[in-house]
Structure formats: structure tokens, C-alpha cells
A and B are shown apart, each in its own frame.
Chain A
Amino acid sequence: MIAPDWIAAPLLLAAGSAGGWLLRTSWRDRQNDRPALVIAGWALLVADAAGAALALGVMPGIAAALALAPLGLLAVVMQGAIRREARQPRDRANLAPEPLEGTSRPWRGWVKGLLAGPLGMTAAMGIAFCYAVWMPGAVQTRLLIAALLVPALWGLAMTWTLADQRLLRSTAVLAGTSLLGFGLAFLKGMS
């Protein structure tokens, strides 16, 4: 395979930095919108990935750009870091959103854990297996996309159930999805 190594890598890093610098310049100006800079910044980042795809092959190029451009962007972040004197820990902390701190009971925590964990996984598998069985296309493609769907959907289910305060709703949706997904997949079988 063509290795980006020491020729393409600096270019990908530099494009990431340049795109980041344009975006930072635009967003730092709190008084004015500067859409041209924003568009140029994002365009440079997209061009970074597109150029890498052309030079190194579509998938290796995009993957290399996704790994190298963020380092260039983070360099811009670090270059613009503001240093302050150590101070008492209440300054500006109020600006950050605070998580909900209700009178949550331990049993609710356990139920949420069960919903986010085993039931979320079952619901994700139900949808994924349904996809593998019912969607058209080559069996390998359906299987691999379904396999990718399992962690992706499980992650989404985890996010939702941990945020949702209505346990009955989460339980009903996840249990219903699991039953429906597994049931439909079982009905048709793999072809």
C-alpha cells in the first residue's frame, strides 16, 4: 500500500492546521459573522480528505486524513491556549451546564443500568438482525452492516435510556423493539 509517511503526512497536518486557523479566526470575532472564513475553513478540511483520497486511495486516504488533520487542528487549539493564574475554583464555572441532580433512588439506577445494558443490547440486536434478514443485497454486506449496527444502536440506546427519566417509556420501547426485531428476523430466516 502507499504509505502517507513523510510526504503526505505533513501536507495533511498542514491542511488541518490551516483549516483550523481559518475557523478560529472567524469564531473568535464575536462581533461579526465571517461566513467566508467559515466556508473556507471547512472547505480546506474537506479538501484535505478529498486530496488524501485521490493520492492514497479512497478509504486509506480518508482514514489517514481523519487521523492526521485533527492533530493539525489540535495544534491550532494549543497555539491559542490562554494561560491564567491559578485561582479559586468558582470562576466562570456557572457558565457550564450542570447535570440533573434529582432525588434519584438506587433502584432507579439499577433499572437504568439494565435498560442501558442488556435490554439496550437486545433491542440493538433485534433491529440489526432484522436488517440482516430483510434487507436486499449480498449476504456478507447485510451481515457486516448489521454487525456495525449493533454497537451503534446500542450506544444510542444507552445515551437515550440514561437521559430519559421515564423508565416505563424506555422499558416499553426497548422491550417492544427487541420482540419485534427478533420476531421478524426469526420469521424470515437468512437467505
Chain B
Amino acid sequence: MGRSNQTPKGGLYRPEIVRAVLSGHSVLGIAFAAVIYLVCLTGALSVFQQDFTLWEQPGLPRVERISDAAVVHAVAQLAPRVGEETLYVSFPDADMPRLRLTMDNGHEEHNWIADAQGRIVGEVDTPWTEFLTTLHIQLHLPRGWGGFIVGLTGVALLSSLISGILSHPRVLRDAFHLRLGGSRRLQEADWHNRLGVWPLPFHVLVSLTGALLGLSTIIVGALAMLLYRGDTQRVYALLLPPKPPVDARAAPLPDLGAMLATARAKAPLGDPHMMIITHAGRRDASVSLTQERPGLLATQDSFAFTANGRILQEKHPGGLTLGEQILGALGTLHFGWFGGVAVRIAYGLLGIALSAVTASGIHVWLARRRDKGRPAPQWERIWASILWGQPAILALTAALGVAAPAMIERMATGLWLGLTMASVIAAAVVTRVTDARIRALLRRMTGALLVVTALLHVARHGAHGDGIAMDAILATLGLCLTWSWRGKRMNDTAREASASVEPFASSAKG
């Protein structure tokens, strides 16, 4: 039986609906393109947060397994400094073979590393990784505003995915078409659709979880305003373990060893994942301990202890509500921190694919304007400066993070913002350079900076096991970006030539 090649005409894919949805898709994409691109690009890199942490500070002791006594010893060394602060103990695992202790007073954090015997061996000093992840999570704005903008970006991305599918009547029939090298608009549209369609479940997953993580503050705030006269703690109390009544009198550090032993006895299948000690040294101290089990996404065994070791709350996989499971899995699912290196690489590649979907969407819009005789060379240059300017600026901050970490700790945000603004303004006002040349220049610059970063890292830290693999990856990627894609350069040149005659051809016609 022959198959019709006609575009479906009924239902949601009626031409007027498709055109209206495509119009909304286009407006939304153009309005949010830059911030979506930035969040996706930094998100794709943030997937490797643990790897970058190990790379940025190699040489610290690797801890595969840790004894309870060592954990108790590590905490005891910090106990005099804890006071009113909360102490987080992150147990080592395959992805992060380090025992980390974080002290948080609500305004600032201090992080330490301990060895297998529990001796504090140094402070965590990974300014570039922190710069990168903070850029992804809150754009270096105050947490509330930054999180909201990132959450809104996630919603815009989610909406773009929905409208993208609704505005593509041939979504399945064209699902394997990739036509390269012909008209630029067709090529970019093919990239846009192919990279958008097949990983669609992944794109929806990360945009939905990302939007929720970003919007959580405003959702909790709105719910508290509606139901609890603005008391957000009452909303959080529905989700968090109970706390003992306030009693600020001094008391010795809780017996953490006994708590670890209790948890291990009650849940022998789990491995300790995180211990949170609040108000250490007070009678109302509480200790929360979570454990991970194989084959489950969220931390599933959790215990809440009082200062004297009484169990306030105890949860195990069979007793977890769906909501608790979702809560425990949100971050893990969003960042791909559940399946080892292979899943992280897949997440990273698909994150880059989502960035490319955003970029190609703007290219389609710009090419369509050229096709219609209304080219926007200034916007073409500005977009080129964002598209490859951001990777170049991130690579520069990484190189500086290796060469002068103290400087990056103080100045990374200002440097990123200044260079971003400078590159966009320069692209807007310098009319003699085409967007293709800006892309080529910044791409090569990114490549060169990645190679420099790897070389600086080897020079500073030597060929250390925790860093050398990342150095090799950065150098290889850098070399590829710097010297490859000759064909692409030729295509760009050919398109540049055709683009330069196209407005005249169109205006001559019209």
C-alpha cells in the first residue's frame, strides 16, 4: 500500500494551529535563547562537578572506604569550631573518593578533606568548579532571584519543547533526516529537530527537574503565604525529619560512632552517604544520617537521632512515600549522578545537544530573515559572540583557575560578566567582521584555551591520577576545536558569499 507524503491536516496539526504554535515557539526561543543556552552549557559541564573537583585539587588522599572511628575522629577535630553551625559529612563513594566535611552557618561555607584515618588534611579549594556550578544554579545572582530566573528558564525550555513538537507535523517521518551542506536554514532546521526529538524524554526530564529546583523557593513561599501566613518553615517541616525541642545548654558531642553502628545494624544493605549534625555541642543537637542502597535513585535509609542517640525518625525503602522518593531523586536525576562515568558522559553529551538545539533554533530564525530579504547582521554577530564566546570565557576562567586560583575565587564572576558584556557589545558595534569569522575566531580561542588549561594543570600538579585523564580530555577537545572542521570553514565561507548576495537578490525580486 502506498503511503501519502502529505502533511497531516487534522487535529493539532491543522496548518493554522501549527503556524500559531510555531510563532509562539519562535518568540519564546528568541526571548530566552541566550539564558537557555548558558544554563544548558553550564549544566552540561556541571554534570562533571565531581570530576572537576578531583581535577582542580588533585593529590589529596583518595578514600575508598572509611571506618566509623575515622569519621568520628574527623568530626571531633572540627567540633570546637561548629558552634551554631551545621556540619555536613559526605562519605566517600566511587564517584567522589574523598571524605568531605562542610560547615555552613547559612551565609558561608567552609569545606575540609580528611584522609582514611580521619585526619583533616586540608581545605577544599576548587574555585572554578564552584564558579561553574553557581553560574548554572543561580547565575551568580542572589539565591532567590538567580534560582527563580533559572527556574523560569527551565519553564521556557519546557514550553519550547512542547511547542516544538506541536509545530512539527512531520516529527516522526523526518526523524532521521539530516541534510548537511545545502541551504543553511535547512541544515540548521534538521540539526534543531533531530537533536530535539530523539533525546526528548531527557530534555523534558532535565528541564522539568531543573525548573522545579529553581522555582522551589518561590513555590514554598507562595504555599506558605496561602496556608501558613508566610511561615515557610512549616512547609519545610512537612518534608524534613523532626527536630528536638530547643535547648541551648552545653553538651558533649553526640556519640556518632554508636549512631553509625545503629544505622548499619538496622539497614545492613545501605552504605552511609551523608551525615548532618546540627547544633553540635548543645543539648538540642540532632544528627541526620542517610544511606544509599544499590539499584535505587534516592538515598533510602534515613535516621534522625537526638543528642543522646534516641531515634526520632527512621525510614526505609518500604516505608518511603512517593513524594519522599521524588524529593530524594530530583537532584540525582537532574545532574545524572546515579550511573557512574558512562551516564555522566551521556548526560554531558545530551546537555551539549540541548545547547545545540537552542543555537540552531536561533540560526534558523536568522537564516529565515535572510531568506526573506530582512537579514539581521548585528544579531548574527551578537549570537555568534554568545555561542562561542561563552565557551571561550569559561575556558579562560578554567585556565586562570589553574594558574591563579586565589584570583579566580575573588574575581571569576566579575571577569565572566565583564567579558560577556564586552564580547556582546563588540560584536554589536564592529560591523566589519562577519558572524562566521567571529564564530571561527572564538571557537579556535576556546580550543587554544583548553589546551593551555591542560598544560598549565600538568605543569602545576604533575601527571597526577586524579587530573591527568581530564587534562588529556581537555587537550584533545581543544586540539579538535582549534584545528579541525576545515570543511565547516569552507562551508561557512561559501555561505558567507551566498549570504552577501542574497539580500540584493531578494530586494531585486521584491
Contact = CB atoms under 8 A, between A and B. Distances in A.
A183 B304 CA distance: 37
Nearest to A154: B155
Interface string B184-222: 111001000011001101100101100110011001001
A189 B234 CA distance: 13
Interface centre among B24, B154, B161, B491 (most CB of A within 10 A): B24
B384 interface: no
Contact of A4 (B19, B324, B340, B495): B340
A164 B16 CA distance: 11
Interface band, chain B: 35 or more
Given A74-B195, A162-B28, A88 B183 contact: yes
Contact of B178 (A77, A90, A91, A154): A77
Interface string A1-40: 1111110110000000000100110011011110000000
B324 A5 contact: no
B367 interface: yes
B491 A86 contact: yes
A44 interface: no
Interface of A: 1-6, 8-9, 20, 23-24, 27-28, 30-33, 56-60, 63-64, 66-68, 70-71, 73-74, 76-78, 80-93, 96-101, 109, 112, 116-117, 121, 125, 128-129, 132-133, 137-145, 147-148, 150-152, 154-156, 158-159, 161-165, 182, 185-186, 189-190
B23 A100 contact: yes
B40 interface: no
Contacts of B261: none
Contact of B163 (A86, A93, A163): A163
Interface stretch (B139-147, B346-354, B448-456): B346-354
Interface centre among B182, B339, B350 (most CB of A within 10 A): B339
B331 interface: no
Contacts of B172: 27
B322 A66 contact: no
Q: Is the interface of A mostly helix, strand, loop or mixed?
A: helix
B21 A23 contact: no
Contacts of A133: 227
A77 B176 contact: yes
Contacts of B350: 67, 70-71
Given A67-B347, A138-B323, A99 B26 contact: yes
A71 to B, nearest CB: 6
Interface string B325-367: 0110100010010111111001101100100000000000001
A57 B296 contact: yes
B176 A27 contact: yes
A70 to B, nearest CB: 4
Given A71-B349, A99-B25, A88 B295 contact: no
Contacts of B242: none
A179 to B, nearest CB: 13
Nearest to A97: B18
Contacts of B162: 155-156, 159
A189 B241 CA distance: 22
B446 interface: no
Interface string B289-301: 0001111110000
A116 B23 CA distance: 14
Interface in B457-507: 491, 494-495, 498-499, 502, 505
Nearest to B235: A143
B371 A158 contact: no
Nearest to A25: B176
A76 B189 CA distance: 18
16 contacts: A4-B343, A9-B342, A9-B343, A32-B1, A57-B295, A67-B336, A68-B342, A68-B346, A84-B179, A96-B189, A128-B219, A139-B323, A151-B212, A163-B21, A185-B226, A186-B226
